[in-house]
Structure 1
Protein backbone atom coordinates (compact mmCIF):
# COMPACT_ATOMS: atom_id res chain seq x y z
CA UNK A 1 0.00 0.00 0.00
CA UNK A 2 1.33 3.42 -0.97
CA UNK A 3 1.78 6.04 1.70
CA UNK A 4 -0.38 9.11 1.08
CA UNK A 5 0.34 12.77 1.55
CA UNK A 6 0.22 14.37 4.99
CA UNK A 7 -2.09 17.37 5.14
CA UNK A 8 -0.99 20.49 7.00
CA UNK A 9 -3.39 23.40 7.48
CA UNK A 10 -2.32 27.02 7.70
CA UNK A 11 -4.36 30.04 8.71
CA UNK A 12 -2.21 32.81 7.27
CA UNK A 13 -2.42 36.53 7.79
CA UNK A 14 -0.47 37.97 4.86
CA UNK A 15 0.68 41.59 4.81
CA UNK A 16 3.05 42.18 1.90
CA UNK A 17 3.59 45.92 2.22
CA UNK A 18 6.11 45.93 -0.64
CA UNK A 19 3.49 44.69 -3.12
CA UNK A 20 0.35 46.04 -1.44
CA UNK A 21 -1.10 42.56 -0.85
CA UNK A 22 -3.15 42.00 2.31
CA UNK A 23 -5.04 38.72 2.64
CA UNK A 24 -6.29 36.18 5.17
CA UNK A 25 -5.63 32.74 3.70
CA UNK A 26 -6.83 29.28 4.75
CA UNK A 27 -4.47 26.81 3.11
CA UNK A 28 -4.36 23.03 3.07
CA UNK A 29 -0.87 21.93 2.07
CA UNK A 30 -0.39 18.32 1.06
CA UNK A 31 3.12 17.12 1.94
CA UNK A 32 4.10 14.29 -0.39
CA UNK A 33 5.98 11.42 1.33
CA UNK A 34 9.15 12.23 -0.65
CA UNK A 35 8.95 15.95 0.20
CA UNK A 36 11.10 17.34 3.00
CA UNK A 37 9.79 19.79 5.59
CA UNK A 38 12.18 22.54 4.35
CA UNK A 39 10.85 22.08 0.79
CA UNK A 40 7.25 22.29 2.02
CA UNK A 41 7.97 25.42 4.09
CA UNK A 42 9.71 27.08 1.12
CA UNK A 43 6.77 26.11 -1.12
CA UNK A 44 4.34 27.68 1.37
CA UNK A 45 6.41 30.87 1.61
CA UNK A 46 6.67 31.06 -2.19
CA UNK A 47 2.88 30.85 -2.35
CA UNK A 48 2.54 33.70 0.15
CA UNK A 49 5.26 35.88 -1.39
CA UNK A 50 3.83 35.47 -4.90
CA UNK A 51 0.15 35.59 -3.87
CA UNK A 52 -2.16 37.03 -6.51
CA UNK A 53 -5.42 36.14 -8.21
CA UNK A 54 -5.20 32.66 -9.78
CA UNK A 55 -2.36 31.29 -7.60
CA UNK A 56 -2.42 27.60 -6.68
CA UNK A 57 -0.18 24.81 -5.55
CA UNK A 58 0.89 22.59 -8.45
CA UNK A 59 -1.27 19.49 -8.91
CA UNK A 60 1.48 17.02 -8.15
CA UNK A 61 3.80 18.96 -5.86
CA UNK A 62 7.26 17.40 -5.97
CA UNK A 63 6.06 14.42 -8.00
CA UNK A 64 4.69 16.43 -10.94
CA UNK A 65 6.65 16.83 -14.12
CA UNK A 66 3.95 18.90 -15.84
CA UNK A 67 3.55 21.67 -13.27
CA UNK A 68 5.78 23.60 -10.88
CA UNK A 69 5.35 23.57 -7.10
CA UNK A 70 3.28 26.77 -7.30
CA UNK A 71 1.72 28.44 -10.32
CA UNK A 72 -0.56 31.27 -11.36
CA UNK A 73 -3.22 30.76 -14.02
CA UNK A 74 -5.23 33.38 -15.82
CA UNK A 75 -9.00 33.09 -16.34
CA UNK A 76 -8.49 30.92 -19.43
CA UNK A 77 -6.42 28.39 -17.46
CA UNK A 78 -3.11 29.34 -19.05
CA UNK A 79 -0.11 29.33 -16.72
CA UNK A 80 1.14 32.92 -16.44
CA UNK A 81 3.68 32.47 -13.62
CA UNK A 82 5.84 29.36 -13.14
CA UNK A 83 7.13 29.21 -9.54
CA UNK A 84 9.73 26.55 -8.82
CA UNK A 85 10.92 25.55 -5.35
CA UNK A 86 14.14 23.92 -4.22
CA UNK A 87 16.70 23.09 -6.88
CA UNK A 88 14.99 22.60 -10.26
CA UNK A 89 17.19 21.36 -13.07
CA UNK A 90 17.96 23.61 -16.01
CA UNK A 91 15.75 21.71 -18.44
CA UNK A 92 12.69 22.05 -16.19
CA UNK A 93 13.33 25.76 -15.66
CA UNK A 94 13.80 26.25 -19.41
CA UNK A 95 10.45 24.54 -20.05
CA UNK A 96 8.63 26.63 -17.44
CA UNK A 97 10.13 29.93 -18.49
CA UNK A 98 9.10 29.32 -22.12
CA UNK A 99 5.59 28.26 -21.13
CA UNK A 100 4.75 31.13 -18.76
CA UNK A 101 5.06 34.90 -18.98
CA UNK A 102 7.18 34.91 -15.84
CA UNK A 103 9.25 32.38 -13.89
CA UNK A 104 10.76 32.59 -10.41
CA UNK A 105 12.61 30.15 -8.15
CA UNK A 106 12.56 30.03 -4.34
CA UNK A 107 15.21 27.90 -2.71
CA UNK A 108 16.04 26.66 0.76
CA UNK A 109 19.41 25.48 -0.55
CA UNK A 110 22.70 27.26 -1.21
CA UNK A 111 21.88 29.69 -4.04
CA UNK A 112 25.46 29.84 -5.32
CA UNK A 113 25.47 26.07 -5.91
CA UNK A 114 22.15 26.24 -7.70
CA UNK A 115 23.32 29.08 -9.94
CA UNK A 116 26.52 27.11 -10.70
CA UNK A 117 24.44 24.07 -11.71
CA UNK A 118 22.59 26.20 -14.29
CA UNK A 119 25.68 27.94 -15.69
CA UNK A 120 26.24 27.16 -19.36
CA UNK A 121 22.93 25.33 -19.78
CA UNK A 122 20.18 26.59 -22.05
CA UNK A 123 17.47 28.29 -19.99
CA UNK A 124 15.00 30.57 -21.75
CA UNK A 125 15.30 34.19 -20.52
CA UNK A 126 17.61 33.20 -17.63
CA UNK A 127 18.49 36.84 -16.94
CA UNK A 128 14.81 37.55 -16.21
CA UNK A 129 14.35 34.68 -13.73
CA UNK A 130 14.96 35.71 -10.12
CA UNK A 131 16.29 33.12 -7.69
CA UNK A 132 15.14 34.02 -4.20
CA UNK A 133 16.64 32.68 -1.00
CA UNK A 134 16.49 33.34 2.73
CA UNK A 135 19.09 33.83 5.46
CA UNK A 136 20.93 30.62 6.46
CA UNK A 137 19.02 28.78 9.18
CA UNK A 138 15.74 30.64 8.65
CA UNK A 139 13.87 27.78 6.96
CA UNK A 140 15.14 25.25 9.52
CA UNK A 141 13.99 27.52 12.38
CA UNK A 142 10.55 27.83 10.77
CA UNK A 143 10.32 24.07 10.19
CA UNK A 144 11.02 23.48 13.89
CA UNK A 145 7.72 25.29 14.65
CA UNK A 146 5.55 23.25 12.23
CA UNK A 147 2.48 21.42 13.45
CA UNK A 148 -0.32 19.76 11.50
CA UNK A 149 -2.50 22.84 12.20
CA UNK A 150 -0.74 26.21 12.09
CA UNK A 151 -1.57 29.87 12.60
CA UNK A 152 0.95 32.00 10.75
CA UNK A 153 1.58 35.67 10.11
CA UNK A 154 3.68 36.65 7.10
CA UNK A 155 4.74 40.28 6.71
CA UNK A 156 7.05 41.72 4.07
CA UNK A 157 8.47 45.19 4.53
CA UNK A 158 11.34 46.60 2.45
CA UNK A 159 12.63 43.18 1.41
CA UNK A 160 12.48 41.75 4.93
CA UNK A 161 10.23 38.80 5.74
CA UNK A 162 8.76 38.65 9.24
CA UNK A 163 7.19 35.31 10.14
CA UNK A 164 5.29 34.35 13.25
CA UNK A 165 4.62 30.63 13.52
CA UNK A 166 3.89 28.51 16.57
CA UNK A 167 4.33 31.49 18.87
CA UNK A 168 7.85 32.11 17.57
CA UNK A 169 8.83 35.26 15.68
CA UNK A 170 11.45 34.88 12.94
CA UNK A 171 12.78 37.23 10.31
CA UNK A 172 15.00 37.06 7.25
CA UNK A 173 16.04 39.04 4.25
CA UNK A 174 14.60 37.95 0.93
CA UNK A 175 17.71 37.69 -1.22
CA UNK A 176 17.51 37.87 -5.00
CA UNK A 177 20.16 36.29 -7.23
CA UNK A 178 20.37 36.19 -11.03
CA UNK A 179 22.43 34.31 -13.57
CA UNK A 180 23.32 36.52 -16.49
Structure 2
Protein backbone atom coordinates (compact mmCIF):
# COMPACT_ATOMS: atom_id res chain seq x y z
CA UNK A 1 0.00 0.00 0.00
CA UNK A 2 1.34 3.43 -0.95
CA UNK A 3 2.07 5.95 1.75
CA UNK A 4 -0.03 9.12 1.44
CA UNK A 5 0.90 12.72 2.01
CA UNK A 6 1.47 14.05 5.51
CA UNK A 7 -0.44 17.22 6.35
CA UNK A 8 1.47 19.99 8.11
CA UNK A 9 -0.16 23.16 9.36
CA UNK A 10 1.57 26.52 9.52
CA UNK A 11 0.26 29.61 11.30
CA UNK A 12 2.40 32.39 9.86
CA UNK A 13 2.57 36.00 10.97
CA UNK A 14 3.76 37.60 7.73
CA UNK A 15 5.28 41.07 7.68
CA UNK A 16 6.60 41.78 4.21
CA UNK A 17 7.79 45.35 4.69
CA UNK A 18 9.30 45.44 1.19
CA UNK A 19 5.85 44.90 -0.40
CA UNK A 20 3.61 46.34 2.33
CA UNK A 21 1.93 42.98 3.04
CA UNK A 22 0.92 42.17 6.63
CA UNK A 23 -1.18 39.04 7.13
CA UNK A 24 -1.81 36.10 9.43
CA UNK A 25 -1.84 33.01 7.23
CA UNK A 26 -3.30 29.61 8.11
CA UNK A 27 -1.67 27.11 5.74
CA UNK A 28 -2.34 23.39 5.31
CA UNK A 29 0.57 21.89 3.41
CA UNK A 30 0.53 18.33 2.09
CA UNK A 31 4.03 16.83 2.15
CA UNK A 32 4.45 13.98 -0.32
CA UNK A 33 6.63 11.08 0.97
CA UNK A 34 9.28 11.87 -1.68
CA UNK A 35 9.43 15.54 -0.65
CA UNK A 36 12.12 16.73 1.77
CA UNK A 37 11.43 19.09 4.65
CA UNK A 38 13.71 21.65 2.95
CA UNK A 39 11.64 21.50 -0.25
CA UNK A 40 8.38 21.84 1.71
CA UNK A 41 9.75 24.82 3.66
CA UNK A 42 10.85 26.42 0.39
CA UNK A 43 7.26 26.03 -0.88
CA UNK A 44 5.98 27.72 2.27
CA UNK A 45 8.52 30.55 1.94
CA UNK A 46 7.61 31.02 -1.75
CA UNK A 47 3.91 31.16 -0.86
CA UNK A 48 4.51 33.74 1.87
CA UNK A 49 6.96 35.90 -0.09
CA UNK A 50 4.62 35.93 -3.11
CA UNK A 51 1.43 36.24 -1.04
CA UNK A 52 -1.42 38.13 -2.70
CA UNK A 53 -5.10 37.56 -3.31
CA UNK A 54 -5.69 34.44 -5.42
CA UNK A 55 -2.55 32.54 -4.36
CA UNK A 56 -2.77 28.77 -3.91
CA UNK A 57 -0.64 25.65 -3.58
CA UNK A 58 -0.97 23.03 -6.30
CA UNK A 59 -1.25 19.34 -5.55
CA UNK A 60 2.53 19.32 -5.11
CA UNK A 61 4.81 16.82 -6.83
CA UNK A 62 1.75 14.98 -8.19
CA UNK A 63 0.75 18.04 -10.24
CA UNK A 64 2.73 17.69 -13.45
CA UNK A 65 1.01 20.42 -15.44
CA UNK A 66 0.88 23.20 -12.87
CA UNK A 67 3.43 24.99 -10.69
CA UNK A 68 4.02 24.43 -6.97
CA UNK A 69 2.31 27.76 -6.25
CA UNK A 70 0.09 29.82 -8.51
CA UNK A 71 -1.79 33.10 -8.43
CA UNK A 72 -5.07 33.55 -10.28
CA UNK A 73 -7.10 36.72 -10.67
CA UNK A 74 -10.83 36.99 -9.98
CA UNK A 75 -11.64 35.69 -13.47
CA UNK A 76 -9.52 32.58 -12.91
CA UNK A 77 -6.77 33.70 -15.29
CA UNK A 78 -3.28 32.60 -14.31
CA UNK A 79 -1.28 35.63 -13.17
CA UNK A 80 1.82 34.04 -11.60
CA UNK A 81 3.53 30.65 -12.10
CA UNK A 82 5.82 29.97 -9.13
CA UNK A 83 8.12 26.96 -9.22
CA UNK A 84 10.09 25.49 -6.31
CA UNK A 85 13.35 23.56 -6.36
CA UNK A 86 15.07 22.99 -9.68
CA UNK A 87 12.50 22.96 -12.52
CA UNK A 88 13.65 22.24 -16.04
CA UNK A 89 13.65 24.84 -18.82
CA UNK A 90 10.56 23.30 -20.45
CA UNK A 91 8.47 23.95 -17.30
CA UNK A 92 9.67 27.56 -17.16
CA UNK A 93 8.91 27.99 -20.86
CA UNK A 94 5.40 26.60 -20.36
CA UNK A 95 4.82 28.76 -17.30
CA UNK A 96 6.01 31.87 -19.08
CA UNK A 97 3.62 31.17 -21.95
CA UNK A 98 0.67 30.71 -19.57
CA UNK A 99 1.25 33.41 -16.91
CA UNK A 100 2.19 37.06 -16.80
CA UNK A 101 4.94 36.38 -14.27
CA UNK A 102 7.20 33.39 -13.50
CA UNK A 103 9.41 32.95 -10.44
CA UNK A 104 11.50 30.11 -9.04
CA UNK A 105 12.39 29.68 -5.36
CA UNK A 106 15.16 27.26 -4.51
CA UNK A 107 17.01 26.07 -1.44
CA UNK A 108 19.80 24.75 -3.66
CA UNK A 109 22.84 26.47 -5.18
CA UNK A 110 21.27 28.91 -7.69
CA UNK A 111 24.17 28.56 -10.14
CA UNK A 112 23.64 24.79 -10.31
CA UNK A 113 19.87 25.26 -10.63
CA UNK A 114 20.24 27.73 -13.52
CA UNK A 115 23.09 25.95 -15.36
CA UNK A 116 20.82 23.45 -17.22
CA UNK A 117 18.71 26.36 -18.51
CA UNK A 118 21.64 27.86 -20.48
CA UNK A 119 20.95 27.76 -24.20
CA UNK A 120 17.44 26.35 -23.71
CA UNK A 121 14.33 28.06 -24.99
CA UNK A 122 12.49 29.86 -22.19
CA UNK A 123 9.79 32.29 -23.30
CA UNK A 124 10.65 35.72 -21.82
CA UNK A 125 13.55 34.05 -19.97
CA UNK A 126 15.02 37.40 -18.98
CA UNK A 127 11.82 38.12 -17.00
CA UNK A 128 11.86 34.80 -15.10
CA UNK A 129 13.31 35.42 -11.64
CA UNK A 130 15.29 32.88 -9.64
CA UNK A 131 15.18 33.49 -5.86
CA UNK A 132 17.50 31.72 -3.47
CA UNK A 133 18.61 31.97 0.14
CA UNK A 134 21.95 31.94 1.93
CA UNK A 135 23.60 28.49 1.87
CA UNK A 136 22.24 26.23 4.62
CA UNK A 137 19.47 28.60 5.76
CA UNK A 138 16.52 26.51 4.55
CA UNK A 139 18.08 23.23 5.66
CA UNK A 140 18.76 24.59 9.19
CA UNK A 141 15.24 25.97 9.53
CA UNK A 142 13.66 22.81 8.07
CA UNK A 143 15.01 20.92 11.09
CA UNK A 144 12.45 22.76 13.23
CA UNK A 145 9.39 21.62 11.23
CA UNK A 146 6.71 19.75 13.13
CA UNK A 147 3.20 18.66 12.16
CA UNK A 148 1.78 21.89 13.65
CA UNK A 149 3.97 24.94 13.16
CA UNK A 150 3.97 28.53 14.32
CA UNK A 151 6.08 30.97 12.36
CA UNK A 152 6.87 34.65 12.09
CA UNK A 153 8.30 35.71 8.74
CA UNK A 154 9.54 39.23 8.16
CA UNK A 155 11.10 40.56 4.97
CA UNK A 156 12.74 43.95 4.97
CA UNK A 157 15.32 45.39 2.59
CA UNK A 158 15.67 42.04 0.80
CA UNK A 159 16.41 40.07 3.97
CA UNK A 160 14.11 37.51 5.60
CA UNK A 161 13.91 36.79 9.32
CA UNK A 162 12.18 33.53 10.20
CA UNK A 163 11.12 32.23 13.58
CA UNK A 164 9.80 28.69 13.21
CA UNK A 165 8.64 26.98 16.39
CA UNK A 166 11.72 27.29 18.65
CA UNK A 167 14.27 28.07 15.92
CA UNK A 168 15.21 31.35 14.33
CA UNK A 169 17.33 32.33 11.37
CA UNK A 170 17.86 34.98 8.76
CA UNK A 171 18.97 35.13 5.16
CA UNK A 172 19.24 37.47 2.24
CA UNK A 173 16.87 36.71 -0.63
CA UNK A 174 19.13 36.53 -3.68
CA UNK A 175 17.42 37.27 -7.00
CA UNK A 176 18.70 36.85 -10.54
CA UNK A 177 17.25 36.40 -13.99
CA UNK A 178 16.87 32.89 -15.36
CA UNK A 179 18.39 34.00 -18.68
Query: What TM-score do the two structures reach when normalised by structure 2?
Result: 0.98
RMSD, aligned CA: 0.8
1:130 corresponds to 2:129: yes
Tell me the equivalent position of 2:22: 22
- Cα distance in 2 for partners of 1:179, 1:40 equals 22
For 2:47, the equivalent position in structure 1 comes to 47
Match of 1:36 in 2: 36
Distance 2:77 2:68 in 1: 16
In structure 1, C-alpha distance between the alignment counterparts of 2:125 and 2:80, rounded to whole Å: 15
**What is the CA deviation profile of residues 45-85 of structure 1, one whole-angstrom value per residue up to 9, with x for unaligned ones?**
00000000000001x21121111000001111121100000
State the shift of 1:42 in Å: 0.3
Work out the CA distance in 1 between the residues paired with 2:42 and 2:167. Answer: 17
Partner of 2:13: 13
Gaps of 5+ in 2: none
Structure 1 residue runs of 4 or more that deviate by more than 3 Å after TM superposition: none
Query: How many matched pairs?
Result: 179
CA distance in 2, matches of 1:99, 1:74: 13
Take 1:63 and 1:109, find their aligned partners in 2: how far apart are those partners? 21
Query: Which residue number in structure 2 is paired with residue 176 of structure 1?
Result: 175
